[in-house]
Structure 1
Amino acid sequence: MTLLQLNHVQRTYNANSTHPVTALKDISFTVDRGEYVAIMGESGAGKSTLLNIIATLEQPTGGQAILNSQDLGALTKDDAARYRREHLGFIFQHFNLLDSLSNRDNVYLPLVLAKTDPAVMAQRLQPLMKRLRIAQIIDRFPSEISGGQQQRVAIARALIAQPDLLLADEPTGALDSNTSAEILDLFDDVNENGQTILMVTHSAAAASHAKRTLFIKDGRIYHELFRGDLTMKKYQEEISDTMMTLTNGGE
């Protein structure tokens, strides 16, 4: 069942100036409910712009982005903020935790903004603490824990609202290789439990955890790979080869 649908999405900045910049020229793809999709491309290819449109932080200048039958471009600013809280989860490269709040309160933040009953908040937190192994650090502060632990807290914050779609922007970019592998294993577990994930990454190792990888070049979908029955190692090799071809200007 299709969860996310992009139809000929375009995004141009400074469209009325003498030097417009087109970040996205024509992007079309779908993501089914329960999928795990990675998006790759060189810097400046339009990955972040694409993620911002799906996140309702920007509106396309052409085409449509539709999530769960909702045209995201048709939302007002206030409606978009509400939609983000209720339907989207976010994981960032630099965690974006609030140092003034305990880890528990950081996790609770989306539900607090949605005025969720405290009993419901506590109930939702219990399984996340166990799955993400954060029970021992839940009442500490972000400055008191490691980067990997901070990212696990950030994942809990993203998941506690039970989002339709989890958006991850370079989620392992600030972590060492061992911690990155641990976080990516958690993503695998989350996806196996039914969570739809869309991840932007520069890392072939990270992308190899996804079931499908989209490559963006010059504002368009350049290529698409499916993991299928490939081992993760073989899939990573195919991703690396495709990125090499893309970087070298191959067709």
Structure 2
Amino acid sequence: MTLLQLHHVQRTYQPNSTHPVQALKDISFDVQLGEYIAIMGESGAGKSTLLNIIATLEKASGGEVILNKQNLSHFTADEAARFRREHLAFVFQHFNLLDSLSNRDNIYLPLVLASQPLKLMQERIVPLIQSLHIEKIIDRYPNDISGGQQQRIAIARALITHPNLILADEPTGALDSNTSQEILALFDHINKKGQTILMVTHSAAAASHAKRTIFIKDGRIYHELYRGNDSYSAYQQKISNTMMVMTNGGE
């Protein structure tokens, strides 16, 4: 089942100026339900712009983005905010937790903002505490725990809404290599349970956990790779090789 469709998406900043910036020139791809896709490219390639458009934080200048059979370009600001709350979840590089709230309350926050009842929050958090192994830190505060533990809380906050799609922006960028592997193992786990994930990353090691990697260069799709039956290390090498060719100007 197709969850997300992008058709010839473009994004131009300052279109009426003498020097418009075309961040996205022509991006088209589909995301199937349950896929785990990594988006890679050099800085300035358009990765973050693409993620923001899918997140309804920006509007495309041209083309269409259809998520869950709804055309995102037709939303008003209020409709976009409601759609984000009901269908999307986010995992950021720097966690974006509120230090004034306990970890439990940080996880509850999106459901609180959606005016969901406490009973529902309590029901949904129990399996997350178990599967993400956060029993010992659930009632502590973000500034009292490690970066890896904070990212586990952020992932729990994303999952508690039962989102159609998780958008992850450099989720291991602020973590050391061992902690990164732990977080990537969690992403593997939740993807195997059916969660669709779209992850922007600079890390070939992180991208090797995805089932498909889309490379963007100068606002266009440069190449795609599928992991298939490759091991993580074999797929990581293919990703690294593609990045090297792309960076060096190969076609």
Place the TM-score, normalised by the shorter chain, in its bin: over 0.9
The CA distance in 2 between the partners of 1:111 and 1:104, in whole Å, is 12
Q: For 1:151 and 1:130, how far apart are their aligned partners in 2?
A: 15
Secondary structure, in 3 states, of the residue corresponding to 2:244?
helix
Shift of 1:70: 0.6
Partner of 2:57: 57
Alignment coverage as a number of residue pairs: 251
Tell me the TM-score normalised to structure 2 length.
Answer: 1.00
Q: Show the counterpart of 2:225.
A: 225
Runs (5+) with no aligned partner, structure 1 = none
Structure 2 unmatched runs, 5+: none
In 2, Cα distance between equivalents of 1:83 and 1:98: 23
* Aligned pairs (5 A) from 1:99-114: 99-114=99-114
Q: 1:185 matched to which residue of 2?
A: 185
The question of 1:241 aligning with 2:228 is answered no
Q: Which residue of 2 aligns with 1:128?
A: 128
Q: 1 CA distance for matches of 2:134 and 2:73?
A: 37
After TM superposition, the structure 1 = structure 2 runs for residues 55-204 of structure 1, keeping only pairs within 5 Å, are 55-204=55-204
Distance 1:78 1:135 in 2: 36
1:175 match: secondary structure: coil
CA distance in 1, matches of 2:135, 2:89: 21
Counterpart residue number, 2:22: 22
Tell me the CA shift for residue 111 of structure 1: 0.2
**Structure 1 Cα separation of the partners of residues 9 and 40 of structure 2:** 17
Q: How far apart, CA to CA, are the structure 1 residues paired with 2:188 and 2:176?
A: 18
- Deviation for aligned residue 1:136: 1.0
| Equivalent-residue separation in structure 2 for 1:203 and 1:51 (angstroms) | 17
Question: How large is the Cα RMSD of the aligned pairs?
Answer: 0.4
Shift of 1:55: 0.3
Quote the Cα distance in structure 2 between the aligned partners of 1:17 and 1:69.
34
CA offset digits 1:24-60 (Å, max 9, x no partner): 0000000000000000000000000000000000000
SS in 1 for 2:22: strand
The Cα shift of 1:116 comes to 0.6
Distance 1:132 1:81 in 2: 28
Distance in 2 between the 1:129 and 1:230 partners?
32
CA distance in 2 between counterparts of 1:127 and 1:160 reads 10
For 2:83 and 2:76, the matched residues in 1 are separated by 10
Per-residue Cα deviation, 1:120-169 (whole angstroms, up to 9, x for no partner): 10000000001111111111110000000000000000010000000000
Letter in 2 for 1:117: P
Quick one: which amino acid aligns to residue 40 of structure 2?
M
Provide runs of 4+ in structure 1 moved above 4 Å: none
Letter in 2 for 1:68: N
Q: Structure 1 vs Structure 2: percent identity of aligned residues?
A: 73
Paired with 1:196 and 1:170, the residues of 2 have a C-alpha distance of 16
Letter in 2 for 1:159: L
2: CA distance, partners of 1:80 / 1:110: 15
| CA displacement at 1:231 relative to structure 2 | 1.0
Please state how far the C-alpha of 1:84 moved relative to its aligned partner.
0.4
Quote the Cα distance in structure 1 between the aligned partners of 2:164 and 2:225. 23
> What amino acid maps onto 1:122 in structure 2?
Q
